[in-house]
Structure 1
């Protein structure tokens, strides 16, 4: 069964994460995504750790075709013209002004193909005082306020996976698909603009609501306290997390599960407001109890009492988790030159199946150059 976007062609002029993720999400839905790369090394993500097929590159570039060609060359410009004329979407994550300097600004693109949906991904938007600055994940996290939700002010140290890059790619895909739907209905093709700053702020609306509505400045623990979420280290050094939210029943069941039903009547913890205000005290009490037994004991105990909980899995443990295995969340992609690699499946199913998802390994640099040139009626020597 073809994917829901089968028949749509996407030209991707992007590197690193935001644009490539956008293209991959569309490719996972069945779109034909042609990635244009600089022949001198290609996408910089290719060479992380050496070589041209890094784990970072493979994370964001499956199900695509790679064309290695310079857009400053005559052949490269002619190819892009041909592709734009016959495509539905163009994605680029250059700094503002680069597309114009290449000769493919908005007006030129509209003239070549009035039905083309152009998606521009920038760090801070196409205008404004920061628009010409370079931007990466840590920059967008810091400027948006997200880093303030994680950093210890006494010992600031950035940590964790990419967030701003990933959510920006997801919002860009969301905008493109909405524009495609509108174009199919009305014939009007829109220009879609997404920037990392806006996308990161949109991804965390609660801290802004806390401040504007309640006058509270959220720190790293405000939401955790309000949500009554806890993490505990067990006797074997492994960790668990619980999330009791606002439901009194979960608190009562939790106190039973840890063998302290008396805590329900403790005036510090009898109400949600009290548990929020006395979060640290409750964390200390429960933390001492969880430290008395290994994690498996607590998994069985918390499951018995129907409490929202999870083991805090390491990355290797995720692969072994029974629910992850049931979902078949990972798949194997095979490349004729690079061999097999493991990849996450698209997290969206249609009719209860992911059988329509393409399963093509990320391309080697320029793997499809000759093929795409032929499709466009060009030859390498043109």
Structure 2
């Protein structure tokens, strides 16, 4: 079965999180993603997170379905090989600091002149323009500057979102933009430059908060797990854990009062409408907390399901992968790594009826496909050996096992 992006070649000059996530999404859809790493250790994420037999588990997921080569882009030989790859490519993705690609000789203008059909995507901390363009950006800094951190956590202290949302959003937006640019190229026959940043990727998700500020002039506050526009819509403690309750509209609120056997709350003047409930949110939370703590999470889940009130348990990560719904959706995939053996990776979040993603292999060992890719470019074994001796690239260290 043909994958969605069969025939599309992507040059991945990214590392850590945002860029690799963007190119992983493209690789999952069938693109031939060639990850280009520096000789001195490769992608820094190879040394981050849990390490299994010398390989980073996170790296193996973020770079699954990609081919990996080592190339010193500071050397003339390395630059020459990158130009050969550019001639064959549809997309180039980079997340260096703005100006770095220009200094290396691979500015958008230079690349566009060489290959006018190529989509050139840049991901940075703050964007390619503006007074902060030259500053390094990290997920935490973007969360802080986007306003996300200021509205996350309880009333007394801000909290970072538990996952690197700025990084992941930037990667998601980048892949989305690349697909749109590829579609446009089908009609125009021209590539283009697209760019996003961790800052903008995080800001794009402050829809409730930004509009609250624009409409009221007030600074949005931290509400813990509560919703900014609907109540009750938050997490409550039970006798043995926590439960998330999504009574996001009037009808569901009324069902909730029936499910909790407290129909009088429906008539309480403090809670009649959503506007009333938001205005009196502390009192509402107090009332419902006293109710929910009297039963277990499982008991409440059964009750809420009976009455049609959206609810769910607060699961730990191990509990997530044990949940029957997650199992049914195939969100824990396994594949074989040449040195680690069987490894787990997060399943595909989108299901396709006609062009489903395929898990072909985990992230490559450093330099794993160098010889393969360079041979495709027409280099001989002697040429490749000479590049290895010069330190422009490194010998292959393994062969992926497809699964």
TM-score range (shorter-chain normalised) is: over 0.9
Q: 1:333 to 1:70 in 2, by over 3 A?
A: same
Q: Tell me which moved more, 16-25 or 146-155.
A: 146-155
CA distance in 1, matches of 2:345, 2:123: 25
Q: 2:239 aligns to what?
A: 235
CA distance in 2, matches of 1:260, 1:135: 50
Secondary structure of 2:227's aligned partner: helix
CA distance in 2, matches of 1:183, 1:126: 23
Q: 2:204 aligns to what?
A: 202
Q: 2:393 aligns to what?
A: none
CA distance in 2, matches of 1:343, 1:326: 16
Give the TM-score normalised by structure 1. Answer: 0.95
**Alpha-carbon RMSD:** 1.7
Q: 1:367 aligns to what?
A: 368
Q: 1:230 to 1:166 in 2, by over 3 A?
A: same
CA distance in 2, matches of 1:20, 1:333: 19
Deviation at 1:111, TM superposition (A): 2.4
Give the TM-score normalised by structure 2. Answer: 0.90
CA distance in 1, matches of 2:362, 2:39: 20
Could you tell me which of 93, 101, 104 is aligned with 2:103?
A: 101
Secondary structure of 1:224's aligned partner: coil
Q: 1:113 aligns to what?
A: 115
* 8 Å Cα contact 2:61/2:362 also seen in 1: no
CA distance in 2, matches of 1:217, 1:157: 17
Q: Mind listing any 5+ residue stretches in structure 2 that lack a counterpart? A: 388-403
- After TM superposition, list the pairs within 5 Å mapping 1:84-233 onto structure 2: 84-152=86-154, 154-158=156-160, 160-221=162-223, 224-228=227-231, 229-233=233-237
Secondary structure of 2:194's aligned partner: strand
CA distance in 2, matches of 1:70, 1:47: 19
Could you tell me which of 278, 281, 302 is aligned with 2:280?
A: 278
* 8 Å Cα contact 2:2/2:355 also seen in 1: no
Q: 1:316 to 1:353 in 2, by over 3 A?
A: farther
CA distance in 1, matches of 2:17, 2:54: 16
CA distance in 1, matches of 2:168, 2:298: 33
CA distance in 1, matches of 2:144, 2:205: 14
Deviation at 1:312, TM superposition (A): 1.0
Q: Tell me which moved more, 6-15 or 259-268.
A: 259-268
Secondary structure of 1:199's aligned partner: helix
Q: Mind listing any 5+ residue stretches in structure 1 that lack a counterpart? A: none
Deviations 1:187-221 (A, max 9, x none): 02111111111221112222111111233322222
Q: 2:401 aligns to what?
A: none
- After TM superposition, list the pairs within 5 Å mapping 1:252-291 onto structure 2: 252-291=254-293
Structure 2 residue 39 is the aligned partner of structure 1 residue 39: yes
* 8 Å Cα contact 2:65/2:360 also seen in 1: yes
CA distance in 1, matches of 2:112, 2:354: 39
CA distance in 1, matches of 2:76, 2:339: 30
Secondary structure of 1:337's aligned partner: coil
